A and B are shown apart, each in its own frame.
Chain A
Amino acid sequence: MKKKKSSIRRSLGIGLGILFAFFVYAYGFQVTKVNLAETKSEHRQQQLFRILRALARPNIIEYEKEVFEVRVPVMIPCPADGFEPDPIEDTTQPYMVVTPSCSDPRTNVHVEGFNFEPLTRGPLNLAPFESGVNLQLANIEIDRFGHFEATVLLPNRPSDEAHEIIAITRRNVGSPKLTTTAYDTWDKIVETVFLALLATTLGVMIAIPLSFFAARNLMKDVTSSLLGISLSILLIPAGLLLGLQVADWSYQVSQALTGNMMMAVSGSVLSPVLVWFGLRWALPQQENRPPKTNVKFFRFAVMIVAAFIFIIFLYLLSFLLLTWGNALDKALGNFGFLGRFVRDLGDILNTVVRVIVALGVAGFFGSFAGRWGEALSRRKDSLSRAAHVLLAIAAGAALAIILMAITNWFYLFRDINLYYAYAGGVGAVLGLLASLRYKSTDAVPNGLILYYVARTIFNALRSVEALVMAIVFVVWVGIGPFAGSLALALHTIASLAKLYSEQVESIMAGPLEAVQATGANRLQTIVYAVIPQIIPPYISYTMYRWDINVRMSTIIGFVGGGGIGFLLQQNINLLNYRDASAQMIAIAIVVSIMDYISSVLREKYV
């Protein structure tokens, strides 16, 4: 009894499921405007054939053409005494015979040709006497024996003088040559591959460090007291600002040196040496007991000076690259792009130094804040408890105000000071709540928080197609491959950071534990236990991503991102299907080569 009931219910469920699927697909057909009649219509099919035929004949090679014109006189109508053309002098050369050699207008005559270039074709024209125009009578096709026959209707052009019938045929001479389309396609496909290369390189360089933040197994052990976190939140923005300031100062110092080329060169040679010796002194290779405070202080001072000198060195280097790059550009002529590359490297260095210094000082402040907070919370006295609450309130307020400032940057609120006050208030309350939730000695899992933030950002970025990103970058840096590479790089960062971090999560935990047990710090653990394990999958994913980037870069030109897509889209819009075909073939070749290379390399490294 029970069994029967359930089987009825099951068939009912299946029936409902089918009905539901029927509705879904019916609606799908409706919204996608499925139109079967259109695919069958004569006109549409002819369009399809046209495109397919054009695609089958890519515009890649062409021949030099030689044009033959063979003439024979004809009279319209026949004169009273008849008309007899001159006899053919040389019957080894191409010639034509018209029979009859004169006739009334709007009557048919028979034209026969001999000794033509076999298997060529062209128009058969009538050139009326002294009119200077050609009237096409027919299209002729020469057979294998150099012969053709055609019956043509004479037009209504009566005249006392003889007209001429002209056969125009072309034949290919010389060896095949590449078309301009082929050359353009080559140019653009090279651009495409390099666009993908740059995007991948940039993406990988940024994705590798970020991927560690998105790896749960590394981040879950990162904890800190709330005090440490509050202090970090307060000090890190200050560190960023100070870092930018330090970069500016160093830049000014380097500017003072660059006035004189000798000074610049000797400065950039001397400074790394100074830094090296400074670091050798300040960072002894091994120490068995903690150093005394005053030694610590001196070392710290030396390291700060060394860092400052090193920043100046980087600025000097960037200056030298810029100057030499420009000089090389002028001197090298055709190879000027090498000089321009050196110059651009200098320019990139100049920008990157600023960012790195800012991040470096912020990072230094952050770790300092963390340690200080840790030490304070371990005191477990009333001072540490008070700091625990007060700093949490301040940090909450500061964080909220920073977030509000970012929001304001997008929305440009009118009454921003009021908004800041609100945000600060809410943040302070949240900070207070956090300080009540955690005791001053509790470990807050800030690593996991960072992990979730990183994951969320990567997932959000990954869900935006690179094509859409390219539109934003085209607006920023203008149409061209540069916009395309930036967009692809951004997308690469998001997706690789995710893939990489999954690899970090799947490493063997044993070696990690073993290295930690020796007393290694977090960075040492990563270098000695994590990195050796992730090198093969990282290489494999990098190749995989380059492959994807080559594919993407072939179409990123559709939205102005440079590469071959730009050319392809143009030709499709102008209905130059034979040119478009050349580009499609180029894409197919490059993508399959990339596919092959990346699969071979991946196999090798995994």
Chain B
Amino acid sequence: MLKIQNLTKIYEGGVQALTDVSFEVPKGQFLAIIGLSGSGKSTLLRCINRLIEPTRGKIYWNDVDITDASDEELRRIRRKIGMVFQHFNLVHRSPVLTNVLAGRLGYVNPAWSLVNRFPKSDIENAYKQLERVGIADKAHHRADELSGGQQQRVGIARAMMQNPEIILADEPVASLDPVLAHSIMQYLEKINKEDGVTVLCSLHFLDLVHRYADRVVALNEGRLMFDGLPKDIDDAKFKDIYGREAERVG
């Protein structure tokens, strides 16, 4: 159970990216976060694992206050929260396998990992995760030799190495073409359904929301505009979320 209370983020320049956002995510849910670009989706997701420090508000996860965690506690929290990014964020010059193993950095002993030594079980697991997303043969390629869709699968494998309870996906398919988008979303769906991982996924297209999400929250200029089932987004709600001029297509 993830509980977000009155979350507010004001960036250094004075931009108020989030205003008093509160909602709860039960365990095992597939939650979509929608909103125009600049509405605060990335900021919200990054506040949850504190890649961005919230200005005000609380985030509880299983009754542990993430916003108040010490550095050491935060590492232990982060390693249970996988993250998938719009631009994949792989280390280009490193092999795919190393990128995937990086998902274990929160678990292994720092001293050994600094000299690139991982437990055997982790290495086996890395191959297994790569197999699961269908690119086991690419393990020893450099990450930047892969296509966009393949890179995103590496990104998912890396997140899965963390043995996560939550996955935060920040527009994971926004830079992929529609066919690839569905295959990536299916992986996330599988992780959600088979492994029971809670997924928070920001999305651009409503059809993806209808197809994959259990529930939707919508942001507009940092405020929570909608919280409910995908099918409950009617035309009025749509205009609230996307603005007066927006036209609904599809």
Contact = CB atoms under 8 A, between A and B. Distances in A.
Given A286-B107, A514-B158, A521 B98 contact: no
B107 A511 contact: no
Interface string B5-24: 00000000000000000000
A284 interface: yes
B38 interface: no
B105 A513 contact: no
A286 B109 contact: yes
A211 B161 CA distance: 32
Contact of B98 (A520, A523, A524, A528): A528
B170 to A, nearest CB: 10
A516 B74 CA distance: 11
Q: 9 tightest CB-CB pairs across the interface, nearest first?
A: A519-B106, A519-B79, A510-B89, A520-B105, A514-B89, A519-B78, A517-B83, A532-B93, A511-B91
A516 B112 contact: no
A518 B70 contact: no
Given A285-B108, A285-B119, A510-B89, A517 B78 contact: yes
A521 B75 contact: yes
Contacts of A536: 93
B203 to A, nearest CB: 19
A516 B162 CA distance: 12
A276 to B, nearest CB: 12
| Residue with the greatest number of chain B CB neighbours at <10 A, chosen from A285, A286, A508 | A285
B113 interface: yes
Interface string A355-397: 0000000000000000100110010000000000000000000
B114 A524 contact: yes
Interface residues of A, number: 32
Interface string B62-89: 0000000011101111110111010111
A323 interface: no
B32 interface: no
A540 interface: no
A88 B90 CA distance: 98
B189 interface: no
Contacts of B249: none
A518 B76 CA distance: 9
Contacts of B165: none
A288 interface: yes
Contacts of A285: 108-109, 112, 117-119
Contacts of B118: 285
A528 B109 contact: no
Interface of B: 49, 51, 70-72, 74-79, 81-83, 85, 87-94, 98, 102-114, 117-119, 122, 155, 158, 161-162
A533 interface: yes
Contacts of B105: 515, 518-521, 524, 528
Given A514-B90, A535-B93, A283 B158 contact: no
Contacts of A535: 93
Given A511-B90, A518-B103, A527 B119 contact: no
A287 B70 CA distance: 19
B234 to A, nearest CB: 36
A284 to B, nearest CB: 6
A150 to B, nearest CB: 79
A529 interface: yes
A535 to B, nearest CB: 7
A517 B81 contact: yes
Interface in A374-428: 374-375, 378
B85 A510 contact: yes
Interface of A: 279, 283-288, 371, 374-375, 378, 508, 510-511, 513-521, 523-524, 527-529, 532-533, 535-536
A516 B78 CA distance: 8
A283 B114 CA distance: 13
A286 B162 contact: no
B51 A283 contact: no
A529 B92 CA distance: 9
Given A511-B89, A511-B91, A535-B93, A518 B78 contact: yes
A519 B51 contact: no
Interface of A is mostly: helix
A283 B112 contact: yes
25 contacts: A283-B111, A287-B107, A288-B107, A511-B89, A514-B83, A515-B102, A515-B105, A517-B81, A517-B82, A518-B79, A518-B104, A518-B161, A519-B77, A520-B75, A521-B105, A523-B110, A524-B114, A527-B113, A528-B102, A532-B91, A532-B92, A532-B93, A533-B91, A533-B92, A535-B93
A521 B94 CA distance: 19
Contact of B108 (A279, A286, A371, A511): A286
A528 B92 CA distance: 11
A527 B93 contact: no
Contacts of A516: 51, 78
Contacts of B93: 532-533, 535-536
Nearest to A536: B93
A283 B109 contact: yes
Given A284-B109, A374-B71, A513-B89, A518 B158 contact: yes
A374 B70 contact: yes
Contact of B122 (A283, A284, A286, A527): A286
A529 B143 CA distance: 13
B89 A520 contact: no
A510 B85 CA distance: 8
A83 B125 CA distance: 117
B92 to A, nearest CB: 8
Contact of B114 (A374, A517, A523): A523
A536 B92 CA distance: 12
A529 B103 contact: no
Nearest to A528: B102
Which of A284, A288, A521 has most chain B Cβ within 10 Å? A521
A281 B109 CA distance: 12
Given A375-B70, A519-B78, 5 more contacts: A286-B122, A287-B107, A371-B72, A518-B162, A519-B162
Contacts of B102: 514-515, 518, 520, 528-529
A521 B89 contact: no
Contacts of B110: 521, 523-524
B150 to A, nearest CB: 16
A287 B76 CA distance: 11
A371 B111 CA distance: 18
Nearest to B94: A532
Contacts of A511: 89-92
